[in-house]
Amino acid sequence: MSDVAARVKKIVVEHLGVEEDKVVENASFIDDLGADSLDTVELVMAFEEEFGIEIPDDAAETIQSFGDAVKFISEAA
């Protein structure tokens, strides 16, 4: 697993309180990991802080799954 993926996974596990093995490529934050819409905003805020990037609102809306987040951050960071 890439460094980015490991760091993203750590944030997701901590924030949503889910088991690490549930956080897989296609895991949807809302449908699979129990996040509500406010959680997804907070996850994006946490990603921004962790990676020192800015994720604009329209991009944030496309980040629905763990895989989406890793892909977006890998390209942006």
Sites of contact with another protein (CB under 8 A): 38, 41-42, 45
- 21, 36, 39, 57: which one is catalytic? 36
| Closer CB to another protein, 45 or 59, in the complex | 45
In this structure, the number of other CB atoms found within 10 A of the CB of residue 77 comes to 13
Instruction: Give the bridge partners for 28, in sequence order.
Output: 65
Instruction: Return the number of the residue (27 or 46) whose C-beta is nearest another protein.
Output: 46
CA distances from 50 to 35, 43, 46, 71, 75 (A): 19, 10, 6, 15, 15
CB of 56 to another protein, least distance (A): 14
- Assess whether 36 carries a catalytic annotation: yes
Measured CA to CA, the distance from residue 31 to residue 58 in angstroms comes to 20
Q: How far is the CB of 2 from another protein (least distance, A)?
A: 27
Residues labelled catalytic: 36
